[in-house]
Amino acid sequence: MKLYFYTKSNFHMKSKLTCLIICILFFACNNRNTLSFEPLSIATDSCKNCTSVYINIPNATGSTKLSETINSALEGEIIALLNFDEVSNAQNLNDAKEAFVMEYKEINENFPEESMPWEAKIEGTTSFENKEVITIKLTSYIYTGGAHGYETNRFLNFDKVKGVELYQEDLFNNLGEFKAFAESLFRKQEKISAEGSINDTGFMFETENFYLPDNMGYTEDGIHLFYEPYEIASFADGPITLTIPYNEANPYIKFPSKP
């Protein structure tokens, strides 16, 4: 039978090792939901009467799951915004930029008298962040011919703890209850009677039933609902928005925030 004797130095060594492990775990737990960003800019060369693309977004640094999720989601969203013909082989932002320029060149070759140079400007900012959630807002202006360009905002929401993107159904405790609550506020904001059709004042909700926009996110002022131009009204009306302050929205959202 072997006997093991623990000297004072061995005891201190084990104590130091235990403390080190605790500190590492504590540091990891407290930093798993922290983020740092660096600017990422991609642009075409400046040229008179040429198609121009300008992209300026935050790029999450580090090799965490959260950073990879954010960067991948932003890249996918921007590739979709720059995709003119709905068929794109772009694998990254540079590919998407070049494809946008080439699409214009092909159209210009076929219709040189009618095609004005295209333009794409996309900028990203953090519209909200706390310990649990971060929302990145993409503001974009895309012109691909015609009388006017198309300007819109996109909100991408992320769970900082799990490192995943949050979709509409992930934001609320009960989507149906929130929808009914949002409709009451929408009617009040747009001066639509509670008893009348949601389209009484000229909106164009399909089947005359209120629905939430796909595009919504956290902002400093509250949960922001963003209806794209054409989504529920004419283009001349522009985007229709509704911001619900946190003191009203908190009972419905999975990640309540301080007002």
Rg (CA), the chain: 25
Q: Which of 74, 57, 42, 51 is nearest to 120 (CA)?
A: 51
The predicted model gives 163-169 an average pLDDT of 96
**Which two three-digit tokens encode residue 227?**
């209806």
* Contact criterion met (CB below 8 Å) for 59 and 78: no
Please provide the size of the chain in residues: 259
Banded pLDDT at 156 (limits 50, 70, 90): very high
**Which two three-digit tokens encode residue 167?**
């979709």
pLDDT tens digits for range 192-240: 999 999 999 999 999 999 999 999 999 999 999 999 988 999 988 999 9
The predicted model gives 162-185 an average pLDDT of 97
153 by DSSP, 3-state: which?
A: strand
Positive or negative torsion for Cα 202, 204, 207, 210: negative
Quick count: other Cβ atoms within 10 Å of Cβ 174? 12
Q: Is 7 left (phi over 0), alpha (psi -120 to 50) or beta?
A: beta
Higher pLDDT, 148 or 136: 136
35 by DSSP, 3-state: which?
A: coil
Map out the domains of the chain with their CATH numbers: 37-166 (3.30.565.40), 169-249 (3.90.640.20)
Backbone angles phi, psi at 258, to 5 degrees: -70, 135
pTM of the model: 0.84
What per-residue confidence (pLDDT) applies to 19?
Answer: 45
**Which two three-digit tokens encode residue 211?**
């629905």
pLDDT tens digits for range 10-64: 545 555 555 444 444 444 444 455 789 999 999 999 888 889 999 999 999 999 9
Banded pLDDT at 4 (limits 50, 70, 90): very low
Beta pairing class for 133-143 and 150-159: antiparallel
The predicted model gives 179-204 an average pLDDT of 96
Quick count: other Cβ atoms within 10 Å of Cβ 210? 18
Report the C-alpha gap between 185 and 173 in whole angstroms: 18
Beta pairing class for 119-129 and 52-60: parallel
